[in-house]
Structure 1
Amino acid sequence: MSEVKKIATRESYGNALVDLGKEHDDLIVLDADLAGATKTGIFKKAFPERHLDCGIAEANMAGIAAGLSTCGKVPFISTFAMFAAGRAYEQVRNSIGYPHLNVKIGATHAGISVGEDGATHQCLEDLALMREIPGMVVINPSDDVEARAAVKAAYEHVGPVYLRFGRLALPVINDTPDYKFEIGKGIVLKEGTDVTVFATGLCVSSALEAAEMLEKDGISAKVVNIHTIKPLDEELVVKAAKETGKVVTVEEHSVIGGLGSAVCEVLSEKAPTKVLRVGIQDVFGESGPAVELVHKYGLDAEGVYGKIKTFVKEN
């Protein structure tokens, strides 16, 4: 059996920017002294005149991008999720969100899979923070194919977009001829009858593998890739919940405010359903090898499998 190809979505981000840059002269990339880590250095090498290093000053970078957008440019600001959603939150809210400017936010190194950098750099709250900003589109791609498509869709969308990327290399799962990315539309990856698993980002591949393990136990799990947290595909969420009667959400984010909360909000209003939220349980992360942390916090296939199996059997 051939080894599954793995690529970090931050790499996909950098490569997608270069591809777009070849087609669109109005695309400008800004980073906060992290071009190597965020992979915007790839764009800098190709288009040095359209890359701006703003230094370790993320709030200022957000303001510069806001100004550029009013001059007909399409700026992508790039830094770690902790700094994009955390340190620069006020500027993103007031200078980009409030006037609904055409600025894209490329936030890399999100979640516990940042690894050894530890809790201070493992942003587990960014999806919650960004989806609260009126008019902000929030996207969390699951692999290289989806990340590239998401960057292109973000460029084409008029208005602010938050793109979440990771440091850890992920299995490529969307390299199929019929794959289509559309903002606000979830993708059914596997049909099932006993439980619906809504997953996002890094956890999509974990959910798919867990579903295969559940099949051996006689549990049929429907797996849905929710790459867009906002706007959420409410129609698909409600339809799938009604079909299976049980729902599990899986995310590399706090269970408070992210995908789990978004799904529960919709279902509580339109189709009350028993839901299990799998994610980070109201705790900070810690320093350690990324793969080991994903396992410890129960976000790998083994952990997701165990949680879903217990949930289905007890409910």
Structure 2
Amino acid sequence: METREFIIDDENAKIRVDKAVASLLDFSRKRVKDILDEGNILVNGSPCKASYILQEGDHLLVNIPEVQSLEVLPENIPLNIVYEDDDVIVINKPKGMVVHPAFGHVSGTLVNALMYHCKDLSGINGVMRPGIVHRIDKDTSGLLVVCKNDKAHLALSEQLSNKTCHREYLAIVHHPFSHEHGTINAPIGRDEKDRQKMAVTANNSKEAITHFTVLENFKDYALVRCRLETGRTHQIRVHMQYIKHPIVGDPKYGHRKTIDTNGQLLHACKLEFIHPTTKEYMSFEAEPDQTFKNILEKLRKGDSV
């Protein structure tokens, strides 16, 4: 068990202890709650409640239990394979599939399916994320590349870092636009009020750049194509919310009143990279799923959705 100690300064004073611990250790609120419930957060030597308001000079001690390891097992789950060779495999991930196992999602993930399909996957990201170079959210559909060996993984990671791996997305968003193109250059970091969300913020943020083109405008919505220059968590979802055009159906960043879509209408439609071995420029495209198409068709006809 790891122990972390803090003397509360004026910056962390006068806020709840659970919020302070989440911020100081970059933990989710749920993990902090579990640690609190086990009596592993002490203020001035005594266990405290989540609602305790910290005071300047308080001695905060957090005993962090070891995270229970998860066993990742192969599962015979069908995969929509767009391309495969000895180095890489390009998948068109369906909406609703989690990319890699985590607490709460120990099975049914893309990694479980890949482990059944492939004998070898790169080990750079450990046993929980074998082969995973980049990820897309559970309810975002579309293309991602997985690496079968460490050499390919390092090469693709370098391309992502150097911005030579190109990713484009289609999204249906709220509100039509008055212009055709735009670039959102706004840093993204953890939301200070909700650690489960990301936000445009100046604190603990990283550069985030999204380019977009408006393909079609409708009465209350628009179809846009977004190109990522960086790859921050929830980047397109956060950026579109930031410019007041949240993605339709987004339960975390969208409008409460929206089209019933069972998740955001966001699809990774294009993926381009240089093959790690042959050095050939690879380009792949995939159409959005039928739900996305059906809603788009209704919008084009002017039907209510």
Greater relative contact order structure (CA < 8 Å, 6+ sep): 1
TM-score (norm 2): 0.28
Between Structure 1 and Structure 2, the one with more helix by share is 1
* Greater gyration radius: 2
TM-score (norm 1): 0.27
Between Structure 1 and Structure 2, the one with more strand by share is 2
